[in-house]
């Protein structure tokens, strides 16, 4: 194992105990890894700039225990729906410590956020500006507003998780003047715009795209001050820092990421005599490496694929219902056998049990003595696994266990029951 590898792994005895107590597939999160990542961000931001805010992108993992952990370390919560806001509140977090995103918020979602006292609503389009103006007319709310901007920055990442380029559903475009028009319209309507926001994409292994996004935002803020005396008290550059899924992934350090982005913005802000709060919204890079998924090996099958060639399939008791990312993004993961095995390895494809091709992990090395009943742990599954889980083929969504600082563990999400799965459905009496 790489000495710099910070990914959480379960020791064999604990993995077997958890699997025995809670069944597999099973998500497992490590409390101390999560806390450590939040603390690293806090220290790196504070070392780079005196006025900063760290907000956790809860879409990465909105498990209530995770939200409680990151908030206890001083992070605010970034929510992208009413459901995520309700999750934060249920975790004991005041709505005033949350800000709400969303490219197509319903009026009732905006109204709920306002009534609950959410700190900021991130405005995404002109129709939303008009809706907010109607909702707040004649009333006083504590909520302030950020404008989501599209800086025209196309990052090096998968197209489906790239969000900062001009051709995007998110935000107001800077280049075509929409961002300026949006701020002026908010000012005209009395909507208290506190600042600006962008998010250029996810799983960024270096800081270049985010540096460019930060520069775009700083320049726009300076321009708005010069032209209209509109002051951005807060500039949120989004999240996006990648995490280590496989040995070939080498993301830049949190310290360098924060330092570099702030350094790209500060000269522009200094020249404009501005000192806004600079915020970041990491998600994946806080919880991704803190999680593993445990599977139990089932059928192992070798099939011919060409003359003189074959492929070995190792089926596990999960699949795209507990991790759809390989099907959606061609995502790669590190897969390890739990416990000692032969040093001799073979290349296999780990497949799920769904009625699809469901190739979870293609061409991964596993010991040749792997057998039915063995446990596999898949690293770096703390982000976008449990939040994307579904009931395809009527499989129950997995439980989540949390390994505590003491070495003990708690069940923080129980496995779906059959009654829960079918409880919302009815059969009309005449059928």
Alpha-carbon distance of 226 to 153, in angstroms, equals: 24
* Cis peptide, bond prior to residue 118, ω within 30 of zero: no
Catalytic residue IDs: 355
CA 188 to chain centre: 35
Domain boundaries in the chain?
A: 31-287, 289-422
Answer whether 6's CB lies under 8 Å from 245's CB.
Answer: no
Q: What is the pLDDT along the chain (431 residues), one digit of tens a residue?
A: 444 789 999 999 999 999 999 999 999 999 999 999 999 999 999 999 999 999 999 999 999 999 999 999 999 999 999 999 999 999 999 999 999 999 999 999 999 999 999 999 999 999 999 999 999 999 999 999 999 999 865 444 434 334 444 567 889 999 899 999 999 999 999 999 999 999 988 888 888 888 988 999 999 999 999 999 999 999 999 988 999 999 999 999 999 999 999 999 999 999 999 999 999 999 999 999 999 999 999 999 999 988 889 999 999 999 999 999 999 989 999 999 999 778 899 999 999 999 988 999 999 999 999 999 999 999 999 999 999 999 999 999 999 999 999 999 999 999 999 999 999 999 999 99
What is the predicted pLDDT for the residue at 157?
A: 42
What is the predicted pLDDT for the residue at 166?
A: 53
Tell the residue number behind the tokens 């416990």, with chain if given. 339
CATH number of the domain at 289-422, please?
2.40.37.10
CATH class of 31-287: alpha beta
């Amino acid at each position: 194992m790489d000495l710099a590898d910070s990914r959480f792994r379960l020791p064999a005895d604990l993995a077997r105990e958890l699997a025995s107590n809670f069944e597999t597939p099973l998500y497992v999160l490590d409390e101390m890894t999560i806390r450590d990542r939040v603390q690293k961000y806090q220290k790196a931001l504070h070392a780079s700039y005196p006025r900063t805010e760290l907000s956790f992108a809860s879409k990465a993992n909105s498990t209530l225990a995770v939200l409680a952990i990151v908030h206890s370390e001083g992070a605010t919560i970034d929510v992208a729906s009413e459901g995520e806001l309700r999750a934060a509140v249920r975790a004991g977090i005041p709505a005033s410590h949350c800000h709400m995103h969303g490219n197509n918020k319903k009026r009732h979602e905006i109204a709920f956020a306002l009534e609950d006292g959410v700190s900021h609503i991130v405005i995404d389009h002109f129709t939303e500006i008009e809706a907010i103006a109607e909702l707040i007319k004649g009333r006083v709310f504590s909520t302030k507003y950020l404008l989501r901007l599209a800086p025209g920055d196309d990052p090096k990442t998968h197209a489906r998780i790239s969000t900062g380029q001009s051709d995007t559903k998110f935000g107001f475009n800077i280049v075509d003047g929409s961002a300026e028009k949006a701020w002026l319209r908010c000012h005209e309507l009395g909507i208290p715009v506190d600042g600006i926001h962008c998010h250029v994409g996810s799983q960024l292994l270096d800081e270049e795209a985010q540096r460019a996004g930060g520069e775009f935002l700083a320049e726009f803020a300076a321009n708005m001050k010069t032209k209209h005396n509109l002051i951005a008290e807060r500039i949120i550059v989004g999240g996006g820092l990648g995490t280590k899924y496989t040995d070939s992934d080498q993301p830049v350090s949190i310290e360098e990421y924060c330092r570099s982005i702030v350094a790209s913005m500060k000269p522009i802000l200094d020249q404009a005599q501005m000192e806004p709060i600079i915020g970041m919204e990491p998600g994946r890079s806080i919880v991704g490496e803190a999680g593993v998924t445990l599977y139990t090996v089932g059928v192992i099958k070798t099939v011919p694929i060409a003359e003189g060639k074959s492929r070995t399939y190792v089926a596990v008791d999960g699949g795209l219902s507990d991790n759809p990312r390989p099907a959606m993004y061609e995502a790669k993961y590190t897969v390890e056998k739990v416990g000692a095995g032969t040093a001799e390895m073979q290349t296999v494809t780990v497949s799920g049990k769904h009625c699809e091709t469901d190739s979870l992990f293609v061409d991964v090395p596993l010991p040749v003595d792997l057998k039915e009943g063995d446990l596999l742990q898949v690293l770096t599954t703390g982000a976008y696994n449990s939040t994307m889980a579904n009931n395809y083929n009527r499989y129950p969504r997995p439980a989540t266990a949390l390994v505590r600082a003491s070495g003990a563990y708690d069940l923080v999400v129980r496995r779906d029951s059959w009654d829960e799965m079918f409880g919302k459905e009815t059969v009309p009496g005449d059928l």
